[in-house]
């Protein structure tokens, strides 16, 4: 699994519009023909009706009767520098799950086995998901349901060839130190992989095209896509190439210490190291009962108008999941989020302005985040940092990517984020302020090989950037 070879093969898949296995039209027909919402029912219920879930006596944590799955607890942040600590609820799920995509060559082109997966928090019924998206509880069948299809390819990857395999974090504002194994396993061409109901083969080019549809490609699929190394799919120097497209391609090819990058990879790492050293935050998990300023009502745990989420409970009826019916809490954001990369072309090479951002639930506290990350309210940015206005421009010539995508529907209810790539040109500062850094797409790929560099929103945006070249 040499990186260059893998990147070339993914690029070939990205350049391929499909039609080896089936066209995008056929995909849409298949997608439209899947059983609709009748097969599922998700209804908010008060916590008192949340079967198998309850508030633990001493801690006040919202926990499952088995002690498994996940729990709603609290996090306390001591910001340092004499500032008062603050607390808020957080989801605690202390296990490494698997987000796995199975790939196989057909006619020499890599295809990804994707799943039309229902999750109770989805705004729609199903979203396009990795082959396997499973917690350890799923594996060990804590809930005694059916086994996870295709899990065997990832539990013991010896059966195939591992192309990508790295731990990555999830929402650091909502999860306590959650990370999942992002893994891509290739089965040899010609091996019979039965396609089960609700699964389909797609090229990377097809998935990239689908990434522009609101709420279709789910968060778990996006993070695995972001971890796939790729070469540029076309020639940046071809005569008549669109200048922006060419800039993206050069940026994708500009890895490591490529002279086209404004910042050497070592300097990028140094910027992040500096931000980590400057961050004085100390964080600790605390009982939910110790979270100040939040009220646990009959229907929701909420923290007032300035907080970005509340915790609710739902009853879920489903035919096509591991178990037929279940109850669970979900984290429900109050607003649509914003995650935007402000980009600028320097000397014909696209550069992305990343931000070193502390989040209470991140293992190492600080990871690289979008230029602007926060909430929107009525279209305006709320608390998304100094570049929020640039990121929310309505100039269509600047907005290169703009799609509302959903976050993890297994834990969040109707969590949607506006993902944007905005070419701010000379309005973006050549010398970024402290905590920000210009990087190439290729350097983002260098970093995403390793854990703890790009946060989940930045990884989604990396997958979005790949659609622009």
Catalog residues that contact its own copies under the rule CB under 8 A.
Answer: 1-4, 6, 94, 96, 98, 157, 162-167, 181, 183, 256-257, 264-267, 269-270, 273-274, 276-277, 282, 363-364, 449-452
Angle at which helix 441-448 crosses helix 265-278, to 10 degrees, equals 60
Report d(CA 60, CA 295) in Å as an integer.
12
Report d(CA 298, CA 46) in Å as an integer.
6
User: In this structure, what are the phi and psi dihedrals at residue 141, rounded to the nearest 5 degrees?
Assistant: 55, 50
DSSP one-letter string for 225-250: HHTS----SS-TTSTT--HHHHHHHH
Pick between residue 134 and residue 405 the one whose CB is nearest to its own copies. 134
Pick between residue 114 and residue 365 the one whose CB is nearest to its own copies. 365
Pick between residue 162 and residue 323 the one whose CB is nearest to its own copies. 162
At its nearest, how many Å lie between its own copies and the CB of residue 265?
Answer: 7
Pick between residue 266 and residue 379 the one whose CB is nearest to its own copies. 266
At its nearest, how many Å lie between its own copies and the CB of residue 10?
Answer: 13
At its nearest, how many Å lie between its own copies and the CB of residue 102?
Answer: 16
Please name the residues in contact with 371: beta carbons below 8 A apart, sequence gap of 6 or more. 340, 341, 342, 352, 353, 354, 355, 385, 387, 390, 391, 436
At its nearest, how many Å lie between its own copies and the CB of residue 264?
Answer: 5
At its nearest, how many Å lie between its own copies and the CB of residue 463?
Answer: 19
Residues 320, 129 contacting (CB under 8 angstroms) = no
Looking up tokens 């070939």, which residue turns up? 12
Q: Which contiguous run of DSSP H or E holds residue 464? A: helix 456-465
Pick between residue 27 and residue 69 the one whose CB is nearest to its own copies. 69
Pick between residue 265 and residue 461 the one whose CB is nearest to its own copies. 265
Report d(CA 371, CA 394) in Å as an integer.
17
At its nearest, how many Å lie between its own copies and the CB of residue 318?
Answer: 27
HSE-up of 330 (CA within 13 Å, CB side)? 28
Pick between residue 5 and residue 295 the one whose CB is nearest to its own copies. 5
At its nearest, how many Å lie between its own copies and the CB of residue 275?
Answer: 11
Report d(CA 377, CA 466) in Å as an integer.
28
At its nearest, how many Å lie between its own copies and the CB of residue 361?
Answer: 14
Pick between residue 267 and residue 323 the one whose CB is nearest to its own copies. 267
Pick between residue 94 and residue 433 the one whose CB is nearest to its own copies. 94
Helix, strand, coil abundance in the chain, percent, nearest 5:
25, 35, 40
At its nearest, how many Å lie between its own copies and the CB of residue 155?
Answer: 10
Record the tokens describing residue 7, joined without a space.
């990147």
Helix residue ranges, H only, 199-354: 204-210, 219-226, 243-253, 265-278
Please name the residues in contact with 337: beta carbons below 8 A apart, sequence gap of 6 or more. 373, 374, 375, 376, 407, 415, 416, 417, 418, 457
Pick between residue 188 and residue 243 the one whose CB is nearest to its own copies. 188
Cα→Cα distances 275→148, 206, 278, Å: 40, 38, 5
At its nearest, how many Å lie between its own copies and the CB of residue 93?
Answer: 12
User: In this structure, what are the phi and psi dihedrals at residue 128, rounded to the nearest 5 degrees?
Assistant: -75, 120
């Amino acid at each position: 699994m040499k990186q260059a070879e893998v990147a070339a093969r993914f690029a070939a898949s990205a350049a391929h519009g499909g039609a080896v296995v089936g066209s995008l039209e056929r995909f849409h027909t298949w997608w439209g023909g899947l059983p609709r919402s009748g097969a599922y029912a998700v209804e908010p219920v008060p916590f008192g009706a949340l079967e198998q879930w309850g508030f633990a006596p001493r801690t006040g944590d919202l926990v499952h009767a088995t002690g498994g799955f996940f729990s709603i607890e609290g996090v306390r942040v001591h910001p340092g520098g004499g500032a008062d600590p603050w607390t808020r609820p957080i989801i605690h799920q202390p296990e490494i799950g698997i987000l796995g995509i199975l790939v196989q060559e057909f006619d020499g082109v890599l295809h990804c086995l994707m799943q039309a997966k229902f999750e109770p928090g989805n705004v729609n019924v199903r979203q396009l998901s990795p082959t396997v998206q499973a917690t350890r509880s799923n594996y060990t069948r804590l809930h005694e349901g059916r086994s996870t299809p295709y899990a065997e390819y990832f539990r013991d990857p010896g059966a195939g060839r591992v192309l990508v395999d790295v731990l990555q974090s999830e929402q650091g504002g909502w999860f306590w130190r959650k990370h999942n194994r992002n893994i891509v396993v290739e089965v040899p061409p010609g091996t019979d992989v039965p396609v089960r109901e609700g699964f389909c083969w797609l090229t990377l080019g097809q998935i990239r095209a689908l990434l522009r549809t609101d709420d279709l490609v789910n968060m778990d699929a996006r993070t695995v896509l972001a971890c796939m190394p790729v070469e540029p799919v076309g020639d940046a120097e071809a005569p008549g190439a669109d200048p922006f497209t060419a800039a993206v391609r050069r940026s994708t090819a500009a890895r490591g210490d490529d002279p086209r990058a404004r910042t050497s990879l070592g300097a990028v790492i140094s910027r992040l190291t500096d931000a980590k050293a400057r961050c004085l935050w100390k964080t600790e998990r605390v009982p939910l009962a110790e979270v100040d300023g939040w009220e646990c009502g009959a229907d929701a745990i909420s923290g007032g108008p300035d907080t970005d989420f509340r915790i609710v409970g739902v009853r879920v009826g489903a035919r096509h999941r591991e178990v037929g019916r279940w109850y669970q809490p979900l984290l429900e954001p109050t607003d649509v989020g914003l995650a935007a990369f402000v980009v600028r072309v320097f000397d014909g090479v696209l550069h992305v302005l990343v931000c070193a951002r502390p989040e209470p639930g991140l293992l190492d506290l600080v990871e690289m985040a979008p230029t602007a990350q926060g909430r929107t309210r009525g279209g305006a940015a709320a608390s998304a940092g100094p570049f929020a206005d640039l990121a929310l421009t309505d100039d269509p010539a600047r907005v290169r990517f703009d799609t509302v995508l959903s976050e993890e529907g297994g834990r969040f209810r109707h969590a949607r984020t506006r993902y944007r790539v905005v070419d701010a040109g000379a309005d973006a500062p050549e010398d970024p302020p402290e905590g920000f850094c210009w990087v190439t797409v290729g350097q983002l790929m260098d970093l995403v090989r390793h854990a703890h560099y790009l946060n989940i929103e930045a990884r989604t945006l990396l997958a979005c950037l790949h659609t622009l070249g």
